[in-house]
Structure 1
Amino acid sequence: MIISIGNDHAGPDYKKAIVKYLELNDHTVINHGTDTFDSVDYPDFGHPVAYDVETNKAEFGIVICGSGNGIAMTANKHQGVRAALCWTKEIASLAREHNNANIISIPARYTSIEQAVEMVHTFLTTEFEGGRHDRRVQKIACK
């Protein structure tokens, strides 16, 4: 699976751990994130991930910033992107099952690295339930 990842200065350590997990599980990673803790602007890293998902260059995306909110808002500006802010594996599971989310947004200042890796695992291994949820997901897109 091809996964696109991007992070701002709050997430270099998170990205490093997540990329290690992904590569150990035979995923290909497209890295758009910063590797330093120097202040940067999260849209500069969220837009490329969302674009990869929007254009099917990547099957899923992972975005990381301090609260997870700003980078999720950025990603959600792209057509066909459903970025879900997750802070537990249960929410990550529901984001996939009920919302067919294709980008997980991780709040680095409110989760541990171990939680983040666990959420990514859950997100990538959970299937969309479809059915009544499909109708709702179709109503998300602006046309």
Structure 2
Amino acid sequence: MTDPLDKINAVLPGRWDVDALRAGAGVTLVFAVPFFVFAALLDSDSNGTNTLLFFGFVLGFTLGAGCAAWVQRAGAPFSHGIVTASGTFLVVQAILILVALLRGSTINWLSIFFTLTFVAFAGLMGGILGNRLQRRGFVPSQRRSR
């Protein structure tokens, strides 16, 4: 049985492809969030370690956003990339803020905003990559003709 929302998304262009957002968020959770959580737990003073973890973090968000942009069917790869990256970051950050508040730790709001701008940029880059994949004819496996 088909989902009625599939018909609505197909009829109304510009709508969010929720399956694409979920897929991108899943990829982001697997590839970016471990770097983010490890950096928060490690709290290293080494610039080399922090830089390596940050680039892994940004690449993971770019990969997840690119996945969402590539598999979306709404014709909005850039929006899907940015929303996937930013939304996933904000959900994970909200959980970490809650943990920090429960532990009585201080929260660096400027750092969170600064990181969010990098994540949104990574989402845009992922959107560009996903868009290029679509334009070159690379099709996700679930849409290939058998």
TM over 0.5: no
Tell me the TM-score normalised to structure 1 length.
Answer: 0.32
Higher normalized contact order (CA 8 Å, seq sep 6+, divided by chain length): 2
- Select the structure that is richer in strand: 1
In terms of Rg, which structure is larger? Answer: 2
- Select the structure that is richer in helix: 2
Tell me the TM-score normalised to structure 2 length.
Answer: 0.32
